[in-house]
Amino acid sequence: MAVDLEKLKEELRNKMSEFFGEKIKDITISHDELVMEVEKDIIVEVCMKLRDDPSFQFDLLSYVTAVDYSALGREPRYGVIYQLYSVQKTHRMRVKAYVTEDDLIIDTVYSVWKTADWLERETYDMFGIIFRNHPDLRRILMPEDWEGHPLRKDFPLGGVKSFYFKRSTEPRAGEPKNLVPRIREQLSDI
């Protein structure tokens, strides 16, 4: 079912600028995808509008993630991506909001779609972006005492902290000597 993206774009431009004015920064189509960039302080209202407006009906939040633009030298550093889909209208779009390094806080869209719960936790875990009013913002993939946010560009592939878990090299009671595990240095430490 082909979707007329140009028509959707016009509709989006009319309705959104009517409500939010200058805070909608840009609406573009590239690679057959509709992308809307917004200011981060209206993200919840925009999402609410996109979900409830009968001409958009984005009822499924596909994906939330972030991109660290620091290696490209772009400011602001982080872009938060919301990929939306409408089951009723079978169209997709992407909402982008930028977060600077000094102010890593953006509002959670948990109140709009419950999917955002884990996806935002993952984004927090990987990028350190803080989602305000999130019900349970904890690390999800990395251990709770992990330091750093792995998907940031300044985080090396091999990690920074040395071995996370070490077993005792001493043989336990009744354990033969040859059963003592060999402890190797992490490659990243070299």
Partner 1 sequence: MELTKGGSIAIPGTKEGETDYLTLQTPENALTKTLSDAIQYARRNSIWPVMMGLSCCAIEMMATAAARFDLSRFGSEVFRPSPRQADLMIVAGTVTKKMAPVVGRIYDKMAAPKWVIAMGACSSCGGMYNVYSVLQGVDEIVPVDIYVPGCPPRPEALIYGIMQLQKKIGREPVF
Partner 2 sequence: MATKRTIEMPVESIESMTLNMGPQHPSTHGVLRVVLHLDGEVVERAICHLGYLHRAKEKHAEHKTYHQFIPYTDRMDYLAPMSNNTGYVMAVEKALGLEVTQRCVYLRTLLCELARISGHLLWLGTGALELGAMTVFLWSFTQREKIYDIFEWICGARFTVSYMRVGGMSREDYPEWRRMVREFLDQYMAAHREFETMLNGNEIFLSRVVDVGTINGKDALQLGLTGPALRGSGINYDARKHTPYLAYEEFDWEVAVEDRGDCMARYLVRMKEMEESWKIACQALEALEKTQNERCNIDNPKIIFPPKENVKRSMEDLIHHFLLASEGFKVPPAEVYQAIEGPKGELGFFLVSDGGPKAYRLGVRSPSFINLQGLEKMSIGYTISDVVAIIASLDPVMGEVDR
Can you give the binding site for partner 1, defined by CB under 8 A? 142-143, 150, 155-160, 163-165, 167, 178-184, 186-188
- Binding status of residue 120 toward partner 2 by CB under 8 A: no
Which of the 8 DSSP states describes residue 181? P
Nearest CB to partner 2, comparing residues 21 and 143: 143
Residue 1 touches which member of partner 2, partner 1, none, C-beta under 5-8 Å by kind: partner 2
Binding partner 2 by CB under 8 A: which of 147, 165, 177, 182? 165
Listing DSSP states for 86-100 in one string gives -TTT--EEEEEEEE-
Nearest CB to partner 2, comparing residues 157 and 190: 157
Using DSSP's 3-state secondary structure scheme, residue 160 falls into: coil
Note if the bond before 76 is cis, omega within 30 degrees: yes
Binding mask 55-74 toward partner 2 (x if CB under 8 A, else -) reads ----xxxxx-x-xx--xx--
Nearest CB to partner 1, comparing residues 89 and 152: 152
CB of 172 to partner 1, least distance (A): 8
Which of the 8 DSSP states describes residue 153? T
- Binding status of residue 145 toward partner 2 by CB under 8 A: yes
> Which residues between 25 and 54 bind partner 2 (CB under 8 A)?
30-33, 35
Q: Which two tokens stand for residue 77?
A: 């550093």
If you search the block for the tokens 């958009």, which residue do you land on? 56
Number of Cα atoms under 13 Å in the Cβ half of residue 105: 5
CB of 177 to partner 1, least distance (A): 11
CB of 31 to partner 2, least distance (A): 5
In terms of Cα–Cα distance, which of 157, 12, 126, 2 is closest to 64? 126
> What is the distance between the alpha carbons of residues 43 and 95, in angstroms, rounded to a whole number?
9
Q: Rounded to whole angstroms, what are the CA distances from 32 to 2, 5, 74, 92, 157?
A: 11, 8, 24, 10, 33
Residues that bind partner 2 (CB under 8 A): 1, 30-33, 35, 59-63, 65, 67-68, 71-72, 81, 83, 85, 87, 90, 92, 94, 113-115, 117-119, 122, 126, 139-145, 150-151, 155, 157, 165-166, 168
